[in-house]
């Protein structure tokens, strides 16, 4: 019972931070103060205490700030939208590799300036300020000190797989003329997380696609019905928590959908559910196929080794009998 109370309290603190962010945006009438991935970080850092994210508290500020700055600069370059997305993803993967970090939400802070066409310099200040609050929360609580397992950085093979999947998806959406569908932040963040897992089952794949799509559609419908942004956020955050508990799954990335609805272009807002479904089926489906293929190879290798050992034992027995 105490564990449940502590969890609810941790989530409540995270929710309060997100609501305050939206309230500040409403008061100042500046939608650029809304950072969707701040909701994900609040849940992961304060609620779940995701070890991969809090193991190095200072990186909670440093890495999202770097990716946000890169995204801001890339957006100022005169090139096609799809090329901007591919370029920023490559740069962010490089940053994560060099920093030996698995802070997947930092991906979204790099994507956001391009998706929303941000040209306001104070976007970087907002990222630093909000992530700084979370860093202080981790340092004060000392939760990072309880992490014993060594965090494995993203591997070269995982980076290659991510880029191949992204390029395939980019080519597909570009061929049908819907470039805006290439980058759905919660999907690309989750893609980075699952591609680093050793095992990715069919059940997890189906469940994650269902939840991503369901919450995306619910965010769209709720945003249409609830015109007050503050009330909308207050309604959506607990609702997502309940849905995830029902499905017995931890999926911080989906918390980005409600605030994302406040900042994305009008060309995306009514179609984000469909875009999420198609994007998650393709990208996460590719990961499932890759993991399944690797598992089959491992099983075949183990089977061959067992047969080899059996043959050695059999031949040894025959030699003894012959003697």
pLDDT score of 320 more than 70: no
Contact 71, 114 (CB under 8 A): yes
pLDDT tens-digit map of 266-278: 878 889 999 999 9
State the pLDDT at residue 319.
53
Helix axes 202-225, 185-194, angle to 10 degrees: 160
Distance CA 190, CA 196 (A): 10
Distance CA 136, CA 77 (A): 34
State the pLDDT at residue 296.
54
Section 41-56 average pLDDT: 87
Stronger pLDDT, 31 or 236, i.e. the higher one: 236
Contacts of residue 63, defined as CB under 8 A and 6 or more positions apart, other chains included, come to 95, 96, 99, 101, 103, 106
pLDDT tens-digit map of 1-26: 555 567 788 888 889 999 999 999 88
pLDDT score of 205 more than 70: yes
What's the domain count of the chain? 1
Domain range holding 129? 2-322
Nearest CA to 62 out of 115, 123, 135 is that of: 135
State the pLDDT at residue 322.
58
Model confidence, pTM: 0.87
Residue showing tokens 């105490």: 2
State the pLDDT at residue 149.
62
State the pLDDT at residue 212.
96
**DSSP H or E run through 318:** helix 272-322
Stronger pLDDT, 217 or 55, i.e. the higher one: 217
Helix axes 272-322, 156-175, angle to 10 degrees: 140
pLDDT score of 306 more than 60: no
Section 231-237 average pLDDT: 94
Contact 191, 251 (CB under 8 A): no
Section 193-220 average pLDDT: 93
Band the pLDDT of 222: cuts 50, 70, 90: very high
Structure tokens at 213: 């799509």
Section 252-258 average pLDDT: 94
State the pLDDT at residue 161.
94
């Amino acid at each position: 019972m105490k564990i449940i109370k502590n969890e609810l309290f941790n989530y409540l603190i995270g929710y309060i931070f997100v609501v305050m962010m939206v309230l500040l945006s409403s008061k100042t009438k500046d939608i650029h103060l809304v950072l969707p991935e701040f909701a994900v970080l609040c849940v992961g850092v304060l609620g779940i205490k995701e070890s991969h994210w809090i193991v190095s508290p200072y990186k909670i500020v440093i890495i999202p700030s770097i990716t946000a700055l890169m995204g801001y600069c890339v957006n100022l370059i005169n090139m096609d939208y799809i090329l901007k997305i591919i370029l920023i993803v490559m740069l962010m993967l490089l940053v994560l590799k060099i920093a030996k970090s698995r802070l997947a939400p930092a991906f979204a802070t790099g994507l956001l300036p391009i998706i929303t066409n941000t040209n306001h310099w104070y976007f970087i200040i907002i990222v630093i300020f909000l992530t700084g609050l979370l860093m202080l929360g981790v340092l004060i609580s000392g939760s990072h000190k309880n992490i014993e397992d060594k965090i494995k950085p993203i591997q070269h093979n995982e980076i290659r797989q991510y880029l191949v999947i992204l390029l395939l998806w980019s080519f597909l959406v570009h061929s049908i003329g819907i470039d805006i569908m290439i980058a759905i932040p919660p999907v690309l963040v989750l893609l980075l997380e699952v591609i680093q897992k050793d095992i990715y089952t069919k059940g997890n794949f189906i469940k994650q696609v269902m939840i991503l799509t369901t919450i995306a559609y619910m965010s769209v419908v709720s945003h249409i019905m609830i015109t007050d942004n503050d009330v909308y956020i207050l309604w959506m955050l607990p609702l997502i928590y309940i849905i995830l508990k029902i499905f017995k799954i931890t999926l911080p990335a989906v918390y980005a959908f409600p605030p994302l609805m406040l900042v994305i272009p009008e060309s995306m807002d009514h179609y984000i559910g469909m875009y999420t479904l198609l994007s998650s089926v393709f990208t996460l489906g590719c990961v499932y196929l890759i993991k399944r293929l690797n598992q089959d190879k491992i099983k075949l290798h183990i089977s061959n080794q067992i047969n080899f050992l059996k043959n050695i034992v059999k031949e040894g027995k025959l030699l003894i009998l012959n003697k």
